[in-house]
Structure 1
Amino acid sequence: MPRLACFDLDNTLIDRDGAFLAWARWWVERAGLAPAALEWLLAHDKGGFMPRGELFAAFEKEFGVAISVDEYDREHPSFTWVEPAVLDGLASLRTAGWRVAVVTNGGVVQQSRKLTHTGIADAVDYCCISEAVGVRKPDARIFSIAAEHAGASLAGGWMVGDHPAYDIAGGINAGLNTIRIGSHHAVDSPVADHHFDSVLEAFAVLSVS
């Protein structure tokens, strides 16, 4: 069977933090709030790991203005983007015989809209969203689900992502080779097989593996 190349979405294939900054700046300006509101959102976002309901409830308590989670889920994906070279890299892997899957923790509405808006959904064989399949990284089962739907084998496969505790640990749990992207998180273990600043460097490794 073809081998599987798994990629995380946020801060791996796309600049999630940059998109959040763009959305937050737009929302604060639209609400007519002072720059302190933007600074607060950036300081408390925690890279997206602060639950949106908790984040926005604390924001309303601080500034007296409500942010709707449903509106955020609809609006934020439109601020995401993908580098054309990333789409080219995904296409080159598939041309070389790899099956490619996005394996992402998150909600179906938010993540599926990001995948569609950026064109990544059409560039891979399968998009595995944790809320949809009922299991999250680092559980190895999410990778087995991705492999089954992509028509691939985990043997000799790879997981590429930015978070050691979810992406790298999950890949290791599933028996995959691993590549860490960036330094977005203070967690340093487990250690990936490779560590690069950009996902573009990961494509080069997979192309010769």
Structure 2
Amino acid sequence: MPLLLLDLDNTLIDRDAAFRDAAAAFLSAHGLPDTDLPWVTTVDAGGYTPRHEVAAALTDHYGSAVPPIAVRTLLDTGAADRVVLAPATREALDRARMGGWTCVIVTNGRTVQQEAKIRHTGLDRLVQGWAVSEAVGHKKPEPEIFYAAAATGGLPLPGAWVIGDSPHADIAGADALGLPSVWVANGRAWAQDSYRPTHIAADITSAIHHVISTPNRSE
């Protein structure tokens, strides 16, 4: 049974859109200018800025205008409460499973937050498991988290495909392990010279379609 390892944020779900919505609600709730939204999202950096650094930046910027619990709520549950799973993504995962693929999510982040997204969107009913960096003790692109994800699916890692939107975390990680990969471009151009994905897809649905249509393709 073939193994498909899938990134979560901005691959299976649009995490950035959910965070923008949460940040906009945060600003509105505290009477802050909506023109601050680009600054908040820049500080967040697509979730890559450590949570404590984002919290410190927001606290320093807004001071007593925003209670600390509001900042914690935004960072802990803001995006998780708003993420959605597109019907086309759900259908693509269903096709993969019906085709015999074992689908496992491999994601960086905090366990509670990432599992909340997985369960909120119903992904827990569409995949065979997940590996979260906080729980594993290693984060992408480290090989240990990919091995942990394969073990969660009950399959060996060699021969697995990796799908993700991050050149560094997903594609470099797959490349180091000799695994075929699909980069989800999300409107971007590939800019790395030292490694490349096996395939570049416009979005997650076309990425899954490519993999399940060419399961033995290696280049």
Q: Verify same fold: TM over 0.5.
A: yes
In the alignment, which residue of structure 2 is the partner of 1:58?
Answer: 57
Letter in 1 for 2:208: F
Q: Which residue of 1 aligns with 2:184?
A: 181
In structure 2, stretches of 5+ residues that fail to align are 215-219
Question: How far, CA to CA, are the matches of 2:50 and 2:200 in structure 1?
Answer: 28
1:98 aligns with 2:101: yes
Which of 143, 155, 174 is 1:140 aligned to? Answer: 143
Matched, 1:126 2:129: yes
Query: Larger deviation: 155-164 or 174-183?
Result: 174-183
- Distance, in Å, in 2 between the alignment partners of 1:93 and 1:186 is 27
Give the residue type in structure 1 aligned to 2:132: I
Separation of aligned partners in 2, 1:40 and 1:128: 31
Query: For residue 13 of structure 1, what is the aligned residue in structure 2?
Result: 12
**Which residue of the partner structure matches residue 24 of structure 1?**
23
What code does the residue aligned with 1:33 have?
L
Instruction: Give 1:149 deviation, angstroms.
Output: 1.6
Tell me how far apart the structure 1 counterparts of residues 26 and 46 of structure 2 sit (CA, whole Å): 18
Q: Deviations over 1:118-172 (max 9, x none)?
A: 1111110011101011111111121111111202232322000011111001112
Aligned residue identity for 2:39: W
Q: Which residue number corresponds to residue 166 of structure 1?
A: 169
1:44–1:55 contact (8 Å) kept in structure 2: yes
Give every structure 1 segment of 4 or more consecutive aligned residues whose post-TM-superposition deviation is greater than 6 Å.
184-187
Deviation at 1:91, TM superposition (A): 1.6
Q: Which residue of 2 aligns with 1:87?
A: 90
Alignment match of 2:120 (pick from 117, 121, 128): 117
Contact 1:163–1:184 (CA under 8 A) maintained in structure 2: no
Q: Secondary structure at the match of 1:77?
A: coil
SS at match of 2:79: helix
Contact 2:182 2:207 in 1 (8 A): yes
State the Cα RMSD in Å: 1.8
SS in 2 for 1:79: coil
Q: Give the superposition deviation at 1:28.
A: 0.8
Q: Residue 194 of structure 1 is aligned with which of 188, 199, 208?
A: 199
Please list the CA deviations of residues 165-199 of structure 1 after superposition, one character each: whole Å capped at 9, or x if unmatched. Answer: 11001112232101101257888333111111201
Which secondary structure does the structure 2 equivalent of 1:40 belong to?
helix
The answer to which of 83-92 and 4-13 deviates more is: 83-92
- Which has the higher mean CA deviation after the structures are superposed, 64-73 or 90-99? 64-73
- Total equivalences in the alignment: 208
Q: 5+ unaligned residues in a row in structure 1: which ranges?
A: none
TM-score, normalising length from structure 1? 0.92
